[in-house]
Each structure stands twice: as C-alpha cells, then as structure tokens.
Amino acid sequence: MSATYRAAVIGLGRMGSTFDDERTTGGVIYLPYCHTPSYVTAPQTVLVAGADPHEGQRSIYDERWRLDGHVYADHREMLDKEKPDIVSVCTSSRVRAQIVEDIARSGARAIWAEKPIARSLEEADRMVAVCEENNVTLAVNCSRRWNPHYASARELIDAGEIGEVTQVTAYYLCHLSHNGSHCIDTMRFLAADGNVDWVFGEMESDEAAFGEDDPQGNGYLVFDNGVRGFLRSTPCGPVAVREFDVLGTEGRIRILENAFQFELWKMAPSGDGGEQVARVPFPYPKHIQGMGLSIVEDIVNAAENGGKPRCSGADSRDALEVALALRESHRRGFTRIDLPLEDRSLGIISVEVPGDDLPARVRRELGG
C-alpha cells in the first residue's frame, strides 16, 4: 500500500470538509473523520482538488485547504483535468447517483460516498453495476463498521465469544433512509453480515407510510443465517437513543449510550456449582486511529487487492432496501415482505434533500 492516491472531494460542505471542526469535546468519533481532513492526513493520499456548484463553498474550501484554485463548479471538469484516483461524493443524495456514475467512468479507482447511497433502488442498482463494470471500488460512509469499538464487537462475534448470534435489537431514533442507513447497516454488521430475507414493518403513521418522505419506523427482520432483528427508530426515550443489543447462545454484547459503553456478558461458574451470566471486560483496542484514516486505508486496500470495503455499495443498497421493505409492509396492511423487492423504482426522499439547493452552511446562517 505504498502508492500515493490523488484524492478529490465533490460537495465541499460539512461532511466534505468541516465536520471535524464541530468536535470540541471527546467522544467515540475519532478524528480525522470527515473526508478532506482524512485525505490530508492519510499517508496513502494527497488532496488535489474539490468541486461544488456554490461559489462560496469553493472559495472557503480553496483557502482552507490551500488548493491554489484547483476547485471547480463542474465535477466533470474536475475529473477531466485533475484525474483523481479516489473521489469522495459528499453531496445530497438527490444528485449522488449520477456523480458516482461519472466518477466510475472517469478512470478513478475508488469512490467514498456519503449515505444514504441513493434515492431509489433503481439508482442504487445502477451505481453498484457501473462501479463493478469499471472495476471501481465503491464504499459508502456507514461509518460504524470502521469504528474501532464496533469492530471489536464484530471480532468477538466472529471468534464465537458469544456463541451463535440469535438476535440483534436496535434502539436508534432516526429516519429510515438518512441515519437509518447507519442503523440498518450496523444491524447487518452485528448479525455477521447476514442478508435479510423478509420483514414486517410499522411506520410512525399512515401518512408517513404512504408518502415519499423519510419516515421513522419499527420492524422485525429475519436474516438468512437465522438471526432475528428488532428495530425501533421511533422515539425510544432519553436512555435508548442509539443502542444495540446482540444476543448469542453463550453470551451477549450491549452497545449503550450512543457507543459510550460496550458490555460483554458471558457464562461463568456460579457459587452453587452451576453457571450464571456475568459481565466480563470488553476488549478495548490498545491503539485508536482516526476513523477517516481507517476508511481510507480500507478503501485503498480494496482497490489494490480486489476485495470489498467494509461497507460497500451493495451493503448500503441492502440497508436502503430493508428500509423500503419495512415501509412496504405498512403500506400493504402490515404484511410480510420478502426481499429482494421486485419494484426497483421504490425510493425515499432522505431528510437532507429538501432545501438542498442551498448549502447547509447558508441555511444555518439564514436561520433555517
């Protein structure tokens, strides 16, 4: 992994550039995290350009990252002139699909896209297919897979430390497409990447279920490896906003308080000669690097060696498909919905799309 990749970013706002500036206290998001600071810091990449249709975004980015004018209003012009190897797509999902396709056909080797992957399954299918046809690695920023503590939890699962996984429960206040991308993908990750065979779903209301906007909802997921999943993305109360509970035949992993606490429970000898469930130390890593560095390293490794990144385009498409299946269950009278869905035109308008004609920075300045 010695090659230096020319990196570029499309969409020069919060996740593209400034998210890390908001982190003024500690937590479980390890910096660098968002795209540009990760490229600037990672030994595998050098930042060469950025693109955004908004002049204000370009000028701020150019000055901040010292690109000497290598910023563009048209991402196609940037791809043609700069010929980057790895490109981030940090735009609204309204335009993400076409941009990913343009990058895949430009000669780039890898794409790091924001979530949700797309507005519809049709768009997501096309993005995955075009990247496969052009031998381009597509990673989507469902970032829990690269979090060192979630990774430790998955290593425990793969090592059989809690036996066979039987159930994954998620309490995660979110809209099913937007941050639901994180939640559903994490459920799949903790279920040892099982595929969801069928679901039952209930949205927050009939109006939300029959609309196209991003709903909150609850559901029951049946995985092909025998795992069962329970999802609550409607309000969970103050103590269970983003939590996961993984049950196994020989133990349990609990991820609490938005990943501030990780618990490992296993069978242990009891005082009466039998066994009881006891909490044992969770194996926190000795070294923690910025999550963005882990992502860049993983993407470059996949591009060079032909594997897949921890969260591929197909993984993110599967998360969107589960969200749509849950909504379809409500629409069809709370019936079982089998996957894959036949109607690939189904989609959800993610909550970040309305008003995306203005950068989020401008909307905040205007009080919106």
Inter-residue contact 341 to 350 (CB < 8 Å): no
Look at residue 361 in the predicted model and tell me its pLDDT.
76
| 37 lies in some domain | yes
Look at residue 26 in the predicted model and tell me its pLDDT.
86
| 92 lies in some domain | yes
Total domain count, the chain: 2
Residues 151 and 248 in one domain: yes
Residues 212 and 301 in one domain: no
Look at residue 67 in the predicted model and tell me its pLDDT.
98
The residues pairing with 254 across neighbouring beta strands, listed in sequence order, are 245, 263
Residues 159 and 62 in one domain: no
Residues 105 and 164 in one domain: no
* Dihedral pair phi/psi, residue 143, rounded to 5°: -80, -10
The Cα–Cα gap between 43 and 55 comes to 30
Tokens of 351: 């909550």
Domain coverage including residue 62: 5-143+291-311
- For residue 262, the Cα-to-chain-centroid distance in whole angstroms is 20
| 359 lies in some domain | no
Percent of the chain with pLDDT over 90: 87
- Mean pLDDT on 177-185: 97
Residues 41 and 135 in one domain: yes
Inter-residue contact 244 to 252 (CB < 8 Å): no
Residues 197 and 118 in one domain: no
Residues 173 and 299 in one domain: no
pLDDT beyond 90 at 238: no
Residues 68 and 160 in one domain: no
